[in-house]
Amino acid sequence: MPVPTSHHAVHRIGIEAPAGRVYALIRDAAEWPRRFTPTVHVERAALDARSERLRIWATANGEVKHWTSRRTLDPEGLNIRFRQEVCSPPVAAMSGTWALRERPRDSCELTLSHTFAVVDDRPEDVRWTTTATDRNSRTELANIKALAERPASGAEPLFSFEDSELVRAPAEAVYAFLAEARKWPARLPHVSRLDLAEPSDGVQVMTMATRAKDGSEHTTESVRVCFPEERRIVYKQVRTPPLMTLHTGEWSVRDTGNGLLVTSRHTVGINEAAVPAVLGADATVADARARVRAAVGGNSAATLALAKGFAEAPHAA
């Protein structure tokens, strides 16, 4: 069989921050969903002191893709090499390097290079992959630059919280309630509409209209990754309400030996610029956090309570 043609892409950006700080951002792949706009979820497994395997779910040209990469870490040389072990079509092979070059006055240059090939060398797939690589690389470099250059006192106002319910029912019934999002408009009073697509096994893309207590509605779009064997669902909102810059979360079902602990976890970034318009001229970030905690946590608590009722009902046995 003919060897697919290799294609190359190189993207660079100057960053007014020490190279070590930038390297740490790239190194910590578990945080990418909260740092890189395209990244939905990362599962990391250390292989040894200098290498790791990453399972990555991310958006590319409006689609959700999943691949597995092996990374080789070189903190002394300030570079990280990667190679996809399992690709997502139309990509047939993908490898590259994150490389940092120190510059004067605690600044650096970050270069992200890719070498890739596509299945059957189809020109339309080359264009698709080139566009996706260019768009995601530019976005990721800009995200890293913004994070690295942000003053320590100007850290993004992220906060996390969780709600739980103890459920005495089969884990399969609880997980099914959480995974069957298509049925939520009939099961959850605060969900007025939900459109669901499942582009690949275990991946759900959903647009959901949520009704607040005051009767108002807001629409979000999320990508969910389901792990049925682990009774776990992770997600990232790719369209958030105005008061948020970020919302990632997880539903989990864990056997405690005395029932199931069903937990909803959230990490939220507050959009400080939107606080006055949404909450009033005198409102603070603390007010915004309280509003989000009450609204998001309230919906989660309601969902957990309904999941408990559903799973513990005789019909669910």
DSSP character string of 243-254: TEEEEEEEEEEE
Q: Look at residue 317 in the predicted model and tell me its pLDDT.
A: 47
Kindly write down the DSSP assignment for every residue of 48-60, as one continuous string: ETTEEEEEEEEEE
**The pLDDT of residue 153:** 62
Question: Please, what is the average pLDDT of the chain?
Answer: 94
CA distance 25 to 147: 8
- Give the CA distances from residue 88 to residues 1, 59, 187, in Å, rounded to whole numbers and listed in that order: 20, 12, 34
Average pLDDT for 229-255: 96
Residue 155's pLDDT band (cuts 50, 70, 90): low
Q: Is 150 helix (H, G, I), strand (E, B) or coil?
A: coil
Q: Is the pLDDT reported for residue 75 higher than 70?
A: yes
Q: Would you say 142 and 35 are in contact if contact means Cβ atoms under 8 Å apart?
A: no
| Whole-angstrom distance, CA of residue 218 vs CA of residue 211 | 7
pLDDT at 1: 61
Please state the rounded mean pLDDT for residues 229-246. 95
Q: What is the pLDDT of residues 56-65, one digit of tens each?
A: 999 999 999 9
Tell me the mean pLDDT in the region 260-265: 98
**pLDDT tens digits, 86-118:** 999 999 999 999 999 999 999 999 999 999 999
